[in-house]
Structure 1
């Protein structure tokens, strides 16, 4: 049943409000987790230092955290505008806010595209519910920051524009997506495959060629950051040809690094909210998602199958697009069928969110560190942005906007001595060790911190414990 112009406008306005609320929730949860030491140097700390360097005009400078220049990590050209934004708003919360807006915009974007396709209002709301309750969106926003997550609205628009006459919007969205990192070439490859299945042969072939060219160019220009393919797929062979041959001859070798159970749970967590909305027309989108999905499944790195990491962002875009391709077929069905689809989507989405969203982490891992977070903020405000800092990894994330900063967990800090400031948690403070909070003094890294502080005192630094949770040493302090 087609919706009227008035109905469509009303739905778009309501979806816009949902997006504002959704983005606010995403920002609040991610910001609280960050404040309570729930984020990591890899990767939000890295991208903050990269952005600081770019904002200061030091694009060729070597990051003290990553040991490469900002563009030598994944050749992310999006870091250039991010550096300019960070120069104006120098805060980790700037990145969290931008990422929350990108993910929060999905309900409004999906509703707008659904209205254009004359999808029934009830089904549009079903898709909005699936997006809002999708555990992956919630988790990936809490899982630090990555430039490719910012491009998901452009991915969805690019997929939609495949069948439209406008070329400039399609190619603009494709390029913005590719500029996030070299590995986004997998999305471009999937987009090309999608275009081919839709009968847009020239557009599909051009997209594939552009993506392959970008992969080789960006990979070459970021080679100093390491061969990520070899690191994650090296068990398949020493060369790309050997890897492909191994997959063709012995595909079961994948189960040596990824159990069938982990693959199933990963797939279920991603797709469950959208299952009731997908129909046969979604097969083209599932083909488009295949390059990213298959790489994640066969990777030796288990984090690529974790829902709190960014590797599955293109898959989410194709799942939403698959729903948009499917729902016109459901819109012509009886109202009873549409109601069943809505109810099933709501149930599946709630089950997925409750099962995968890790909300209880706030109680077990983050909130117990609230007193330390407050104490840390009272001390860190006195550290200048030009001072060099050595800190524990949880603290580095909050101090990464500077040229010289190192984490005590990495032994390379020793060659960068001396530092202007050393800041560690006290022995009674809590630290996350493999998912459990332990007192710092009872851990191996805690003993390392004590040794570093003794060295600092011996070198003439003035050391103190300004409160119950933080230990601080300063160079030349009186």
Structure 2
């Protein structure tokens, strides 16, 4: 998005210096990260997200080439019902304040928008996950430009006529109220606010035990733990998540100094059966000791 923003600034906003800097740095950083940094930290493997575009190729180069040589595959995705729904989700909360006259800021969001549309993962085309967040600033700039004009956009063409007000009075007195009302409607219709008193609170009954167990991880040694507890222990070189499809052997476990489990809420990509089995495996492991157990929170520490 940085390079695309530079392209937008350079060619559409005529801000040559800022655009050139963003375009150059964005392209340079993309090359450094994808061709040097990621392979260096992943034993020569490329970015993990490439698996979502295997129908276009196995590497970044292949994907770019096939995007040019196989326009039929791209067009099929661009004009699919799923893409239409995705674009509707992105624009519905602000649809009244968008005008094609000021669409240009969307150029900066094109790389992210394209990646989301072409991905095999549906999660990249909903509003629950983080994938669409980089698009939001450019949508807001689009809205600002439309509203600043004062005489374009759906709100001007439809609502102004409905209220039979002149342009100045309508903008001054009605537009702010309508924006607030529509924003509330959009939030109630699209936001997952119910999560705040459901799945976001599921693990509260184990929270005190989780805190105590985390406090017992006193060194920077490697940790194997759940997705919920990993962020609290991330200040170390080695930390991995428990995954029910990747059961560690006794030898694999030796690379960790700590194994922290939540048998009641095993976390993302795990389940209770797998967590219980792993806890049993560690219980009989000669190199690990169970040093903490409360509310189905287990902390195993490797003997030094």
Query: Which of the pair has more CA radius of gyration?
Result: 2
Higher relative contact order (CA 8 A, sep 6+): 1
| Residue pairs, 1:167-182, within 5 angstroms | none
Is contact 1:390–1:406 with CA below 8 Å preserved after alignment? yes
Q: Offset of 1:452 from its aligned partner?
A: 2.6
Q: Identify if the C-alpha distance between structure 1 residues 407 and 452 changes in structure 2 by more than 3 Å, giving closer, same or farther.
A: farther
Please say if residues 391 and 406 of structure 1, whose CA atoms lie closer than 8 Å, have aligned partners that are also in contact.
yes
Is the Cα–Cα contact under 8 Å of residues 461 and 473 in structure 1 kept in the other structure?
yes
Root-mean-square deviation (Å):
3.3
Q: Does 1:345 align with 2:165?
A: no
Q: Does 1:394 align with 2:228?
A: yes
The residue number in structure 2 matching 1:430 is 265
Residue pairs, 1:11-160, within 5 angstroms: none
Q: Could you report, residue by residue, the CA deviation over 1:359-406 in whole angstroms, capped at 9, with x for unpaired residues?
A: 211222122321201221123212203344332333223222223333
C-alpha separation in 1, matches of 2:22 and 2:220: 44
2:209 alignment partner in structure 1:
375
Moved segments of 4+, more than 6 Å? none
Structure 2 stretches of 5 or more lacking a match? 152-165
Aligned to 1:467: 294
User: What residue number does 1:254 align with?
Assistant: 77
SS at match of 1:401: coil
Describe the superposition over 1:400-423 as per-residue Cα deviations: whole angstroms up to 9, x where unpaired: 222333333244674351643332
Task: Give the structure with the higher percent helix.
Answer: 1
Partner-residue secondary structure (3-state), 1:235:
coil
State the match for 1:9 in structure 2: none
Distance in 1 separating the partners of 2:257 and 2:73: 54
* Structure 1: tracts of 5 or more residues without a match: 1-185
Choose the corresponding residue for 2:281, options 428, 432, 452. 452
| In 1, Cα distance between equivalents of 2:19 and 2:181 | 37
Q: How far apart in 1 are the matches of 2:16 and 2:66?
A: 30
Normalised TM-score (structure 2) = 0.75
Q: Within the alignment, does 1:306 sit opposite 2:156 as a pair?
A: no
Q: What secondary structure, in the 3-state scheme, does the structure 2 residue paired with 1:354 have?
A: helix
Question: Match of 2:261, SS?
Answer: strand
Q: Distance in 2 between matches of 1:384 and 1:449?
A: 22
Q: How high is the TM-score relative to the length of structure 1? A: 0.50
